[in-house]
Amino acid sequence: MASQHYKQLSVLTLSTTAFTLCFAVWVMFAIIGIPIKAELGLTETQFGLLASTPVLTGALSRLPLGMLTDRYGGRLVFTVLLLSTVVPIWLISEATAYWHFLVLGLFVGLAGGSFAVGIAYTARWFSKARQGLAMGIFGAGNAGAAITKFVAPSLVVAFGWQMVPRVYAVAMLVMAVVFWLFTFTDKSHQLSANVSLKQQLAPLKDARVWRYCQYYSIVFGGYVALSLWLTKYYISEYGLSIQTAALIATVFILPSGVIRALGGWLSDRFGAHSVTWWVMWTAWICLFLLSYPRTDMTVQTVDGTAEFALGLNVWAFTALLFVVGIAWGFGKASVFKYIANDFPNDIGVVSGIVGLFGGLGGFLLPVLFGVLLDVTGINSSIFMLLYGVTCVSLLWMYFAEVRRSDYFTRSVSGIEAGKDSVPAPITDR
């Protein structure tokens, strides 16, 4: 009989591996969508919709998949999920019309729902003191986006874009078999059959859940959106080839995925709030700089005219993106540390709704990127949008957490000093 430690290691390793593959599949239109766009003559908005359509189903499926995991266990739900995507992924290689890709993309997008399954499945195998690290290691599987950036361009150049979905379909089938054979089920991790659907959804009435949804919509939704858009951005803004653009984009994608494990450890050590607070401020500064469009200025001087070129070259741009990626990697882990701390018995449903909003951010943002680019023609307008979303998160965090913390500090000080009253508390809105 396998030891508890072996079971923990097996569940964590295979869940992370399966999620990595699912994430690679989830964002494959970021690469194959570029030659498809050229073949079909798509607009920027149509490309944004194509790239993000799988993200929509992945987002919407996270809540029901998280609830199913709470009831039936991650081993069964994860295996069925992997198998359900194999045929749609393969059929993408046979598609010829725009609507074919959109419909198949909706089915393939179920792969993105694997996050809600794996995070709930993995977390319950570890003690509270180690859950942050375990969830961070599992979440590092979103570095699967980097696998697509490395592998897919080479397959496109060598064999055509159709080879990418064929390879991924076979990989998903093999992964499903391996996952079922080498993971485990613990009945104590599952909800009692007496728990009703209404009771299972009760935590969604808590205002904290919706605040965490907002945080995750930028740290994860922004990550997914840029993972889908960056290759095209480098091609359009800096004139790079698809292989070079995809390779440089991994400077943002890969570290942001892998660093999530460290973010989980930091959240265990310093607390979810402290990590998330500094994540938001770091991203806010970098996104402000990234938002500034490349500008040529002519200035009248006493000696005539002087011309200046303002803007980020490809290396400065990539360096700032790297910092944003690291910050968001920490943030993706710290948000789920909040969940493990505040909702230890409802991880599946709460992680499902938070993951849903993060996925919706990953779906809506690329579409809005395309709309902004069609309307303004300014590439950096996508970072203006991300900057605005970050501002909302910072303000909400300040009023709901920072000022509330200050209130409790003043309250305790007032009581110790013998004061009769303190100001009314600030409610979580």
Average pLDDT for runs of 10 along the chain of length 429: 82 93 89 90 87 86 86 91 95 93 93 88 83 82 79 87 94 96 84 72 84 91 87 89 86 82 86 91 95 83 80 90 94 87 79 84 86 89 94 90 61 46 39
245-250's contacts with Cβ under 8 Å and 24+ in sequence apart are: 246/31, 246/149, 246/150, 246/152, 246/153, 247/149, 247/150, 247/153, 248/314, 248/318, 249/149, 250/146, 250/149, 250/150
The C-alpha atoms of residue 210 and residue 404 are separated, in whole angstroms, by 17
pLDDT of residue 425: 41
195 part of a folded domain: no
197 part of a folded domain: no
**If we measure between CA atoms, which residue out of 345, 146, 356 comes closest to residue 260?**
146
8 Å CB contact between 18 and 4: no
Question: How many domains is the chain partitioned into structurally?
Answer: 1
8 Å CB contact between 81 and 181: no
8 Å CB contact between 265 and 292: no
101 part of a folded domain: yes
**What tokens appear for 3 in the block?**
């030891």
DSSP state of 380: T
424 part of a folded domain: no
Residues 6+ apart with CB under 8 A from 340: 123, 128, 131, 132, 135, 347
Helices (H), 85-220: 86-92, 98-108, 114-123, 128-139, 144-159, 163-182, 197-201, 207-219
Residues of the domain holding 50: 4-186+206-297+309-415
pLDDT of residue 44: 83
pLDDT of residue 348: 73
Residues 6+ apart with CB under 8 A from 224: 26, 27, 55, 145, 358, 359, 361, 362, 365
**What tokens appear for 200 in the block?**
């299972």
247 part of a folded domain: yes
161 part of a folded domain: yes
Q: Residue 393's domain is classified under what CATH number?
A: 1.20.1250.20
198 part of a folded domain: no
pLDDT of residue 8: 87
pLDDT of residue 107: 93
pLDDT of residue 427: 41
55 part of a folded domain: yes
CB-count burial class (<10 Å; 0-12, 13-18, 19+) for 256: buried
